[in-house]
Amino acid sequence: MAGIRRLVLDVLKPHEPSNLLLAKILSELEFVDGVNLSLYEIDQNTENVKITIVGDDMDFDEIKKTIESLGGVIHSVDEVVAGKRIVETVLTEQDR
């Protein structure tokens, strides 16, 4: 089935729940095949994480609702891959 296949999200979240628990909860959504969560900034009260989610025909609203229910806020959607297969980004001369 075509639809959203990969999302890369920039998320601001509190320290709790832990990144392990957030990734586990997202991975348990029925349309999610895998989750990669990377911490890239931390301060006294919050953490900025980059979350990559892959699956078939993913429901963005359900993902957003899940993150928000755990105290997180999506700052930006940094990448969306949709269609019948995942298309990898290729560097061009302008990107170098």
Mean pLDDT split into 10-residue runs, the chain, 96 residues = 86 97 98 96 96 94 98 96 78 72
Q: Which CATH class is domain 4-78?
A: alpha beta
The reported pLDDT for the residue numbered 49 is 98
92: exposed, middle or buried (Cβ count in 10 Å: 0-12, 13-18, 19+): exposed
What pLDDT is attached to residue 2?
65
Per-residue tokens: 66: 């899940």
